[in-house]
Amino acid sequence: MKRKILNNAGLLILAIVFSTGLIFAFIELPRLLDASLQNNLGFPQFDQGGGGSSALKTELFIQGLHLRWIGYGSLILIMGLIIFGYSTRRSGWALAGAVGLFIPVFGQFALSMFFLAGLGFLRVGWLPFLDVSSFDLLDLGKVIYVPYWILMWFLGLFKWNAHNFLTWVFMDSGAFLFTWGVLLWFKSRYEGNKVASAWIYKISRHPQYLGWILWSYGFILFTPFINDMKKSWAVPSSLPWLLMTMTIVGICMLEEIRMMEITGGKYQEYRKDSPFLVPLPTWLNKILTWPARLITKGEYASKRIQVLWIVLIYTGILMALSLLWVDLGKSKNISESPDPGRKELSEIMAKLEEAGDNRRAISAEMNHLPQHREAGKDSLLVLATHPNPLMREFAIMHLGREKVLEGEDIYIQSMYDSTWRVRGSAIIAVGAIRSEKAVDSLIQMLVNPRLKNNIFHIYEALGAIGDPKAIPYLARGLDGGEHYNQVSALNAILQIDADTGLGYALSELDDDNVSVRRNAVITCIQTGNQAAKEPLMALFSDEDFEVRFYALQGVKRLEN
């Protein structure tokens, strides 16, 4: 008895160490590689912030380091691993390909953590998808969020915003199932059993894979569902996760074919009594497995070609269902959007009032208003003067996005709101509608120290409006202060007058602040003016890698 307890304890420790080490390595190894690249080789931080400058930095980075070719090569390699694993029944190779599909998802999660994720080394395999489609092809996996949406709706009935809770439930339950499955697999092998069938294996024939799927599902919930993250190269995670999961499902079926060859009737007996991945009611299981049974002519796949067809057909079905949530038109305004009829306007307004200070709930409900066209616009105009600053902030934000001209006076008044977030939304809105009426107020605000949190927004708005009289005031923003404000001021001048912007950019090329020099180089490239060529060539010996890199790529562009 004592020896049995010690053996079980040893196996438990081994399973925990193995599982923890695997998950830790998945997160830690990229961080260590990143630290090595930056500390030992001097690799920089690219593509900070958003907007046109960051998009240009990303494109220069992709072209300069040939990431597009690397991306296509990575995708071909991943698909090659999967095909090789399926065709040779070596599931480990196919699993490596499936993990390769998940790497971009990790890159999305780690977006703000470090260089490798932030600029695409971990997401470079997405480039082929981004290049071939005029709409968000990667949104064709959105059906995977349906369970999350259902749970959020149900828990929302109890006034509970359960996003963080659900995220950790998926991740923790996945890690637990994976560890428990590893423990029982070790125990089965230690006892000489060819088929692990105890405990968790009675609930799922593939608990480790199920654990990985649940853990990774929670992992992607850390990322938002919109393509508007800190970096300009931000893309959805849903399709890569869907492809990875379907590949793993295929691997499970291939392993079952192999187990039947090794154990014969013993495994057949086991799988009659244990669910494939998760236990389901008989009626639901029959519905979900109907397409598979049409292919196999029975309960289980017995040939690799059947597995391949099952994976392809189910993946196609799920991608087709995702079209229900994919915006094929990219950009629509209030007047163009059809009224969905899913929620009555009064119901939305009531929920907004009930939300109180719940920022996430207000944001979620207000997202429905633009879909109600004129009625939605009128509701937003009312909410733009609501006593609750959160209501004002999000209402003005939506009105600005939709370029609603009727709200111009409200925006200008709200530029002096006591809440800086409301001021920010209002300033962005006057820039979006290019309000000449707001220019004098924006210029006056530049000298108001109380509004320092909104300086960045003011510069952007003045640049968007494009009134030349703002240039002298923007030029003052180039002298000292936070580098990101200097960058914004320079970009605004460039928007108003490209030639004047080039002159200021050239003067900033020798600034002591390396961030200002970097952006000045980008500004010179954006003008496309040949006069920038020689000053850029002079930066080939700059002490900063990014300055040298952008200057070199800029000269190449100007020469073409």
- Taken in order of first residue, the domains within the chain and their CATH numbers are 69-325 (no CATH), 331-463 (1.25.10.10), 466-560 (1.25.10.10)
**Quick one: pLDDT at residue 155?**
87
CA distance 429 to 405: 9
Point out the least confidently predicted range of 95-99, 305-309, 380-384.
95-99
**Quick one: pLDDT at residue 93?**
66
Res. 116: pLDDT tops 50: no
Q: Give the closest residue to 423 by CA, choosing from 460, 402, 396, 383.
A: 396
CA distance 247 to 212: 13
Res. 427: pLDDT tops 70: yes
**Quick one: pLDDT at residue 1?**
61
Banded pLDDT at 332 (limits 50, 70, 90): very low
How much is the average pLDDT of 290-315? 87
Residue type, 89: R
Banded pLDDT at 123 (limits 50, 70, 90): low
How much is the average pLDDT of 125-146? 69
Q: Whole-model pTM above 0.85?
A: no
Report which of residues 39 and 348 the model is more confident about.
348
**Quick one: pLDDT at residue 537?**
92
How much is the average pLDDT of 230-257? 74
Percent above pLDDT 90 for the chain: 10
Long-range CB pairs of 494-500 (<8 Å, 24+ gap) are: 494/463, 494/523, 494/526, 494/527, 495/463, 495/464, 495/466, 496/462, 496/463, 496/466, 496/467, 496/468, 496/470, 496/471, 497/468, 497/471, 498/527, 498/529, 499/527, 499/529, 500/471
Res. 32: pLDDT tops 70: no
CA distance 357 to 346: 19
Q: Give the closest residue to 141 by CA, choosing from 182, 100, 102, 192.
A: 102
> Could you read off the pLDDT of 445-470 as tens digits, one per residue?
887 766 666 788 898 899 899 999 99
How much is the average pLDDT of 361-376? 81
Residue type, 266: K
Per-residue tokens: 368: 């429905």
Res. 323: pLDDT tops 50: yes
Q: What contacts 465, CB < 8 A, 6 or more positions away?
A: 430, 431, 434, 435, 436, 438, 439, 442
**Quick one: pLDDT at residue 97?**
62
**Quick one: pLDDT at residue 270?**
80
Q: Where are the alpha helices (DSSP H) in 264-281?
A: 265-273
Percent above pLDDT 70 for the chain: 69
> Could you read off the pLDDT of 140-152 as tens digits, one per residue?
888 998 998 899 8
Res. 420: pLDDT tops 50: yes
**Quick one: pLDDT at residue 225?**
43
CA distance 398 to 16: 48
Report which of residues 94 and 400 the model is more confident about.
400
Report which of residues 33 and 366 the model is more confident about.
366
Res. 24: pLDDT tops 80: no
Do 239 and 141 form a contact (C-beta atoms < 8 A)? yes
Per-residue tokens: 376: 């939605």
